[in-house]
């Protein structure tokens, strides 16, 4: 009986890890862009969690040559029941009460993130230029990343504004730093 349990554990441990599909992201990615008369240098850091059971990501930004600030931290993991990657993020500004939840789809050439952000009452909701009212507010966005090669990808970000998808950033070229 004990031998049977051990063999079962060994065969279970040899299952393909779906998180390996996220391996392309591991490292630090950089984007330089101009947005509304502002110069932005953005970084996304992706690293494996324990035993590759999840990926931890951090987004950092520098605006107009200022110091880098961590904007958000997220965890991407495989949901074996729903058979999809899920993402949960928190924003890291002082007093920031913003969280996001969503899904991540991965193919050989594309990565697609679809996230619903939850804003606390009184917080400004970007892009739609509203303040979250009583009970808070929500903003849905999605990102499309198309792999160019092992060192770069092209990105597009869209926001759902008043029932219609609007592109906020397009043709972003992210380059792997390390």
Q: Cα-flanking dihedrals φ and ψ of residue 122, to 5°?
A: 90, -10
| Residues 125-172: tens digit of each pLDDT | 888 888 888 988 889 999 999 999 999 999 999 999 889 999 988 889
For residue 148, is it within any domain? yes
**Distance separating alpha carbons of residues 108 and 24, to the nearest angstrom:** 10
| Residues 2-14: tens digit of each pLDDT | 545 545 555 555 6
Q: Cα-flanking dihedrals φ and ψ of residue 5, to 5°?
A: -65, -45
- Which structural domain range is residue 53 located in? 26-176
Specify whether the backbone of 5 is left (phi greater than 0), alpha (psi in -120 to 50) or beta: alpha
pLDDT given for residue 8 in this prediction: 52
For residue 11, is it within any domain? no
pLDDT given for residue 112 in this prediction: 93
For residue 2, is it within any domain? no
Whole-number mean pLDDT of the chain? 87
Query: For the chain, what is the domain count?
Result: 1
pLDDT given for residue 42 in this prediction: 92
pLDDT above 90 as % of the chain: 56
Placement of tokens 């009583």 in the chain: 134
For residue 20, is it within any domain? no
For residue 6, is it within any domain? no
For residue 16, is it within any domain? no
For residue 15, is it within any domain? no
DSSP string, 31-87: EEEEETTEEEEEEEEEEE-GGGS-EEEEEEEEETT---EEEEEEEEEEETTTTEEEE
CB 113 within 8 A of CB 87: yes
For residue 19, is it within any domain? no
CATH code at position 119: 2.40.128
Mean pLDDT of 76-102: 87
């Amino acid at each position: 009986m004990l031998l049977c349990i051990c063999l079962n554990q060994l065969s279970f441990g040899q299952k393909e890890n779906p998180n390996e599909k996220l391996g392309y992201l591991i490292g630090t990615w950089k984007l330089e862009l101009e947005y509304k008369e502002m110069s932005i240098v953005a970084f996304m850091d992706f690293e494996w969690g324990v035993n590759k059971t999840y990926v931890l990501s951090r987004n950092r930004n520098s605006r107009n040559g200022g110091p880098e600030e961590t904007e958000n931290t997220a965890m991407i993991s495989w949901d074996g029941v729903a058979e999809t990657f899920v993402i949960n993020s928190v924003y890291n500004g002082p007093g920031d009460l913003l969280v996001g939840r969503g899904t991540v789809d991965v193919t050989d050439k594309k990565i697609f993130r679809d996230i619903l952000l939850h804003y606390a009452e009184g917080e400004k909701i970007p892009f739609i230029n509203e303040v979250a009212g009583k009970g808070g507010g929500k903003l849905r966005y999605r990102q499309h990343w198309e792999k160019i090669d092992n060192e770069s990808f092209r990105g597009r970000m869209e926001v759902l504004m008043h029932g219609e998808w609007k592109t906020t950033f397009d043709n972003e070229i992210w380059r792997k730093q390390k």
